[in-house]
Amino acid sequence: MGAGDGFRAPAAVISAGLLSVLGLSWFWSLLALLGVYLCSGGWRFLYVAACTIKRDLVGLCILLRVKFFMHHYIRMRSTVPSIFAQRVALHPDKAALVEESTGEVWSFSELDRRSNAVAQWAVAQGWRSGDVVAVFMESRPLMVALWLGLAKVGVEPALINFNLRRDSLMHCMGVSGARGMVFGAELLDAVLEVKESLSSLSLFCTGSSPVESLDSLSAQNLDDLLFYIYTSGTTGLPKAAIIVHSRYYRIASFGYYSFGLGPDDVVYCCLPLYHSAGNIVGVGQCVLHGLTVVIRRKFSASRFWDDCVKYNCTVVQYIGEICRYLLSQPVRPSESCHQVRVAMGNGLRPNVWEDFMKRFNIKRIGEFYGATECNCSLANMDNKVGACGFNSVILPSVYPIRLLRADEDSMELIRDSRGLCVPCKPGEPGIIVGRINPHDPLRRFDGYANQIQHRLNNLQIMIQRCQRMCLKMFKDIKVCVCEAVGCHCSCTLSYSSGVEGKAGMAAIVDVMNDFNCETFLRDVQNALPSYARPVFLRLSPEVDKTGTFKIQKTRLQKEGFDPRQTSDRLYFLHSRLARYESLTEELYSAIMQGKLSL
């Protein structure tokens, strides 16, 4: 509806009133009111309402259900561990977690006993409620027992990305303010690299702990902090997002109710447990709703459907390009004899959506959109192809979110002549915003750990690094620009195409013509995990800017790493030789034809 639609109803009422004064009956007055309303554009609203009312009612029921249970748990002063205890009491012998790599099955009582042992051990270390302990290990049931056991006594786990090394690892440790670290034996080498910097902390390698009873839980409620989950760092260094008990419940429960999950479902989780998709949307179905969750340490496209058949999975998780990777696999028998009915996640591209459902016979796609720390999210509750969610036209204030227009290059909000933000029309891309209400657990924003110190550390580290380079990785298709004040370098990120997956490209301004590829590679190896290192380099003598001094990101993105499109020096990271090689037209053709592996 347009900006003036809000005045049509009063105008219609006035018109009907005048007709009544003229002697017409109320029946004819109401009929006249309806006619005025329809003629003034009201038919559009009625049409949209008729098309969306079923979807909106389903969304409203889900929202009310989540709110009802959340307020119930608030009144009962419940927490994630205490809700889990209720699941243990209901079905102690039911399978809770399955470790795919070993086939080991933990029942709900077993997970409870192991997490109790962790809680007793944490108390024995002198850790108390409010202390922070880092958990640094690959995804497996033991990680769940660790954070759940620590949460039982109020100790706050910081879930560290197991791909991080050196500077990035130390940054995340410093931001959390952790007193200790529990790490997996598989990450011993990564810990040894920074052991001197961790000398003030208590370090523990995972092993067996005695099983002891836990008499009581630490006094907490849903507003208290459960653990920290780190952002991906697309706007700087990773930030430790605060996850309180109510946020954990909200994210997991919206997934459970929105996508029609039930207590008999078995969830296949191949996503990392250091992030919300795996640990909340996935494992949360076990902890809060009593489902069985199969945990795989790392995603494998070739083993995906075999695992689903082996463990009778009915729900699978995906993120980003996982569905496309599965479509790229050769046909195998297991992909047609599984019991999977729901795939839930985010980042499924519309152009592979229907192919994925058709080939693997998936009845429902549960696509959602949101950020770990955000107070608003969207969910595709009606299985509409290509949709990540909706905003009600009939009841827009029930779930107060808006999609606002933004400049696709700068990502700045577009404003009208009055300085107000401009709502998007249907089909337009934009930035989602949600109304913050600190008194509503569904609408509050909890922020990040040590926010002031984080900003200072972030600025200092970025300035130091930009003296030699300026690099920032971004996990979406759009390009991202990073400029450093006081430095002669800036970078733009784009992505290659024509090969499987994505590859980052850093465009670096080399004014002095003294860029050293070997030094750069050594720096990024120390600072970034393997998946975040740029595969391609583009060295330019100057920053190409528009008339308004904006960097020409679009042109760089279109030209990519094609040496025929630019006179800039181009390099690619040769995986076999482990060094940057000059990119010639012959090598470019070999890459595009798949003859040269990246």
Which domains does the chain possess? 5-53 (no CATH), 77-410+420-434 (3.40.50.12780), 468-592 (3.30.300)
pLDDT higher than 60, residue 9: no
Bridge partners for 384 per DSSP: none
The whole-number average pLDDT for the span 169-192 is 91
The whole-number average pLDDT for the span 535-541 is 86
pLDDT, tens digit, for every residue of 134-147? 999 999 999 999 99
* % residues pLDDT > 70 (the chain): 79
The whole-number average pLDDT for the span 111-118 is 96
Asked if residues 382 and 258 have their Cβ atoms less than 8 Å apart, the reply is: no
In the prediction, which pLDDT does 353 show?
A: 95
Helices (H) and strands (E) counted in the chain, each on its own, are 18, 22
In the prediction, which pLDDT does 229 show?
A: 93
pLDDT, tens digit, for every residue of 183-232? 998 999 999 999 889 988 999 988 544 334 444 445 578 888 999 999 87
The whole-angstrom distance between residue 336's C-alpha and the CA centroid of its chain comes to 29
In the prediction, which pLDDT does 498 show?
A: 44
In the prediction, which pLDDT does 394 show?
A: 82
Asked if residues 157 and 136 have their Cβ atoms less than 8 Å apart, the reply is: no
- pLDDT: is 426 or 287 the higher one? 287
**Range with lowest mean pLDDT among 115-124, 211-220, 257-266, 521-530:** 211-220
Both tokens of 501, joined, read 């997956």
Amino acid (one-letter) located at 580: Y
Question: What is the C-alpha to C-alpha distance for residues 442 and 424, in angstroms, rounded to an integer?
Answer: 24
In the prediction, which pLDDT does 231 show?
A: 83
Residue 274: pLDDT band with limits 50, 70, 90? very high
Contact partners, residue 463, CB within 8 Å, separation at least 6: 484, 485, 486, 487
Contact partners, residue 537, CB within 8 Å, separation at least 6: 505, 506, 507, 508, 517, 520, 569, 570, 571, 572, 580
Residue 501: pLDDT band with limits 50, 70, 90? low
pLDDT higher than 90, residue 500: no
In the prediction, which pLDDT does 481 show?
A: 28
Closest CA relative to residue 535, chosen from 579, 565, 586: 579
Three-state secondary structure of 415-483: ECCCCCECECCCCCCCEEEECCCCCCCCCCCCCECCHHHHHHHHHHHHHHHHCCCCCCCCCCCCCEEEE
Q: What angle do CA 437, 439, 445 make, to 5 degrees?
A: 50
* % residues pLDDT > 90 (the chain): 44
The whole-number average pLDDT for the span 7-26 is 51
Residue 535: pLDDT band with limits 50, 70, 90? confident
In the prediction, which pLDDT does 5 show?
A: 45
Residue 554: pLDDT band with limits 50, 70, 90? low
**Range with lowest mean pLDDT among 78-87, 192-201, 356-365, 475-484:** 475-484
The values of phi and psi at residue 177, to 5°, are 70, 30
In the prediction, which pLDDT does 2 show?
A: 40
Residue 559: pLDDT band with limits 50, 70, 90? confident
Contact partners, residue 526, CB within 8 Å, separation at least 6: 165, 166, 167
Q: Which residue has the tokens 């969910």?
A: 379
pLDDT higher than 80, residue 244: yes
Q: What angle do CA 281, 283, 284 make, to 5 degrees?
A: 60
DSSP state string for 8-46: HHHHHHHHHHHHHHTT--HHHHHHHHHHHHIIIIIHHHH
- pLDDT: is 94 or 167 the higher one? 94
In the prediction, which pLDDT does 29 show?
A: 62
pLDDT higher than 50, residue 493: no
- Return the half-sphere exposure (C-beta side, CA atoms, 13 A cut-off) of residue 340: 34
pLDDT higher than 70, residue 37: no
In the prediction, which pLDDT does 468 show?
A: 33
Both tokens of 537, joined, read 């380099």
**Range with lowest mean pLDDT among 31-45, 199-213, 376-390, 487-501:** 487-501
How does 465-484 read in b/e, with b if 16+ C-beta sit within 10 Å? Answer: bbeebbbbbbeeeebbbbeb
pLDDT higher than 80, residue 311: yes
Summary mean pLDDT of the chain = 81
Residue 302: pLDDT band with limits 50, 70, 90? very high
In the prediction, which pLDDT does 483 show?
A: 32
- pLDDT: is 463 or 541 the higher one? 541
